[in-house]
Amino acid sequence: MPKDTLTITDNRTGASYELPVVDGTIRAMDLRQIRTGSDDFGLMTYDPAFMNTASCRSAITFIDGDKGILRYRGYPIEELAARSTFVETAYLLIYGELPTEAQLKEWSGQIAAHYMVHENIKKFVDGFHYDAHPMGMLVCTVGALSTFYQDSKNIFDPPSRLHQVYRLLGKMPTLAAYAYRHSRGLPYAYPDPALTYVGNFISMLGQRAGACEPFVPNPVLERALDLLFILHADHEQNCSTNAMRSVGSSHADPFCAVAAATAALYGPLHGGANEEVLKMLREIGSRERIPDYIKRVKSGELRLMGFGHRVYKNYDPRAKIIREAAHSVLEVTGSSPLLDIALELERIALADEYFIKHKLYPNVDFYSGIIYQAMGFPVAMFPVLFAIARTAGWIAQWQELLLDKEQKIARPRQVYVGHPPRAFVPIDKRVAV
């Protein structure tokens, strides 16, 4: 009879060990018993960048990268994109189930009631230089919220935790809009709790200074941004989520943990790839120049930005949905030569042997930058939009971490490769190295 175990023979000692295999994993701590003697610490795994290490058991997001599947709480991303809203999806991610009508009303109402930020936040934003990056401003202001809400330290008190969730979801768009208006030299526009989550955000960005009439967003653009927020709401254990969980594991308050996650998202390897796609499409410039560009990619001179993914070795399901959305946005905003180049580039690359062999398909960033640009967002705001949406996933993952009895403060091991012990050298005897 096959057994769900793994037998390991240590050739250093000849000893044999049988370890249980659960959900396709062995427990790293089970390796600790494998020792060569009493002064041996025990066997560890070495896994820089967590290439093959599960850091948690999670019931939030499922990805099958080979098949191109993404599900939140079991629901296919395609269905959520077609039938849900970002606010409803955030509820699903955080509570684990879709809300009833009454639950959704209460949820949306509570989030809207927390759109407003303390007036002192404006002073923080005012303090930034005129060309400060909005992501830097967002990292600082969301971290600063921790000082306004001292009760947020009560992370094991469910009502208090829920209060912070409302605050975080409600205030992230306001902080983002303040950062945007500051970088444009515009007065801050107050949020309007009567508007939808995304409608309110667009209105805070677009409100004309001194205008009496409220800014009314175009419904097609509002829906497209809501859709993009759904698609970016969670993506299991990525770099920023890992930062959220790692900081959360020390029991820091959620505002500090979201500041850390936002900082992780700021990096060009994570939240900044769609900007690179725009640069690339502009550099290509016309459909005729695509074959030449592909040649340069195949020779190893360049990477095709917006193609390839660590997890997806198939079409990123989010890219398919965004590709469709790009068409409806451009019907409103006017056509973009960049979309024509992107579509042709995709067509040529997907038929090319190099891309087929390397399993390189468009990822979420291939089309999202085109939509954001068509909607009038400056490039620096792209990762900010990502951060607003991903806050829902960060919160869900943080809450799961706190309620998981197996979790402790995140504290990886290392393989020390430095000097062996040596005697201190007095300063007059040192030689410059």
Residue 305 as a binder of ligand ACO (CB under 6 A): the answer is yes
User: Rounded to whole angstroms, how far apart are CA atoms 287 and 291?
Assistant: 8
Q: Segment contacting ligand ACO (CB under 6 A): 23-31, 111-119, 302-310, 324-332?
A: 302-310
Cα 249–Cα 52–Cα 76 angle in degrees, nearest 5? 80
Q: Mask: binding to ligand ACO, 360-399, rule CB under 6 A, as x and -?
A: x--xxx----------------------------------
Comparing CA positions, the residue from 338, 337, 355 lying closest to residue 294 is 355
- Residue 138 CA to residue 262 CA, distance in Å, equals 8
Longest CA pairwise span in the chain (Å):
82
Among 308, 320, 350, 407, binds ligand ACO (CB under 6 A): 308
Smallest separation, CB 299 to ligand ACO (Å): 10
Cβ 59 to ligand ACO, closest distance in Å? 22
Query: How many residues line the site for ligand ACO (CB under 6 A)?
Result: 16
Of 163 and 270, CB closest to ligand ACO: 270
- Which of residues 134, 170, 306, 393 is near ligand ACO by CB under 6 A? 306
Please pick, from the candidates 105, 310, 327, 413, the single residue that binds ligand ACO as defined by CB under 6 A.
310
- C-alpha dihedral, 379 to 384 to 388 to 389, nearest 10°: 50
Task: Identify the H or E element spanning 35.
Answer: none
Question: For ligand ACO, which stretch binds (CB under 6 A), given 124-132, 153-161, 304-312, 398-406?
Answer: 304-312
The question of whether 270 is a catalytic residue gets the answer yes
Annotated catalytic residue 309: yes
Task: Verify binding: residue 208, ligand ACO, rule CB under 6 A.
Answer: no
CB of 309 to ligand ACO, least distance (A): 5
What are the phi and psi torsion angles at 20 (to 5°)? Answer: -65, 145
DSSP string, 132-187: --HHHHHHHHHHHHHHH-GGGG-TT-HHHHHHHHHHHHHHHHHHHHHHHHHHHTPP
Q: Which is nearer to ligand ACO, 115 or 293 (CB)?
A: 293
Is 304 near ligand ACO (CB under 6 A)? Answer: yes
Q: By C-beta, is 260 or 264 nearer to ligand ACO?
A: 264
Q: Which two tokens stand for residue 318?
A: 């989010």
What is the spatial distance between Cα 222 and Cα 28, in angstroms, rounded to a whole number?
46
Is position 365 annotated as part of the catalytic site?
Answer: yes
- The least distance separating ligand ACO from the CB of residue 325, rounded to whole angstroms, comes to 16
Q: Which residues contact 417 (CB under 8 A, 6 or more apart)?
A: none
Gap between the Cα atoms of 293 and 321, Å rounded = 26
Closest CB 310 distance from ligand ACO, rounded Å = 4
Minimum Å distance from CB 318 to ligand ACO?
A: 9
In whole angstroms, how far apart are CA 50 and each of 22, 226, 255?
A: 19, 32, 25
Judged by CB, which is closer to ligand ACO: 129, or 310? 310
342 touches 233 (CB < 8 A): no
Among the listed residues 30, 133, 270, 352, the single catalytic one is: 270
Q: Which stretch binds ligand ACO (CB under 6 A): 84-92, 141-149, 297-305, 421-429?
A: 297-305
Residues of the shown chain interacting with ligand ACO in the complex, contacts defined by CB under 6 A: 270, 273, 297, 303-310, 358, 360, 363-365
The residues annotated with a catalytic role in the active site are 270, 309, 365
